[in-house]
Amino acid sequence: MKTFIIAEIGINHNGDMALAKKLIDAAVIAGCDAVKFQKRTVDKVYTKEYLDGPRKSPWGETQRAQKEGLEFGKAEYDEIDRYCKKKAIAWYASAWDIDSQKFLQQYDCQYNKVASAMLTKDELLEEIAKEGKYTFIATGMSNYDEIDHAVEIFKKHNCPFELMHCNSTYPMPIEDANLKLIHVLEEKYQCKVGYSGHEAGTLVSTCAVAAGATSIERHITLDRNMYGSDQKASIEPYELCKLVKDIRDTEKIMGNGEKVLSAAEEEVKKKLRG
């Protein structure tokens, strides 16, 4: 089965459409199936006290300036929609509030995403689930009770979903990957289970495919040294190309589990067994 590979652009575009397009291009060149963004209504996601707090960034001296500097509006998403259609790659976004999810509904995206941070936001989950679009649900920072509750909401609305095993540390130490949990989640919830990774490098993500992950999502960047909180846990274009190739090779390596002798092995059998 072909693994669905998602290049998470998120907020690594730094509010720059030219940079966003370069990241989309990188995903297309690597052979990804989709790119993903993040959408927030700043005043709904954060408190006024937080937004008034200090934070130096290219956009100013407050948290508000930084958060608003990273947000794309309708003009930018119209261009993302146009550009991704031109490049023949799917796009979608994880909404961090109901207004953002309603904003995204104006586009004909095939997928939705529940970010790990949003897994317990029932009203948002209801808004997403009632759309009925195939939804990736990240499980970072979550216990079984919380996952159970989220799954119940999507089942109630008959909304197709796929869980994503995730560890929400940036970057994640490889010893925390716990990839055996992929199969455990698959058995427990009787659904597909992908992997959303925040580790350095590509080995863990490739191993996740061997462990049964049906999708892989990784943050991408043009340069990990760029400004941004997600850059260090992202992979650069050459790593993305390597990851996609290694995933496709891993799919071939894993095979179908059937005991069948290849034609080449039959020839060796004749020679060695007579």
pLDDT in tens, 50-85: 999 999 999 999 999 999 999 999 999 999 999 999
The pLDDT value recorded for residue 1 is 83
Bridge partners, 38 (sequence order): 94
Average pLDDT over residues 260-265: 94
Average pLDDT over residues 34-44: 97
The pLDDT value recorded for residue 137 is 98
Residue 274 pLDDT > 80: no
The pLDDT value recorded for residue 154 is 98
Residue 229 pLDDT > 80: yes
What is the model's pTM? 0.95
- Annotated domain spans of the chain: 4-96+161-273
d(CA 255, CA 266): 18
pLDDT tens digit string along 131-188?
999 999 999 999 999 999 999 999 999 999 999 999 999 899 999 999 999 999 999 9
CATH class for the region spanning 4-96+161-273: alpha beta
Question: Residue 182, by phi and psi: left (phi above 0), alpha (psi -120 to 50) or beta?
Answer: alpha
pLDDT tens digit string along 183-222?
999 999 999 999 999 999 999 999 999 999 999 999 999 9
Mean pLDDT over all residues of the chain?
A: 96
The pLDDT value recorded for residue 234 is 94
Residues 6 or more apart from 14 whose CB is under 8 A from it? 58, 69, 70, 226, 227, 228
How far is it between the farthest Cα atoms of the chain? 81
The pLDDT value recorded for residue 227 is 92
The pLDDT value recorded for residue 107 is 97
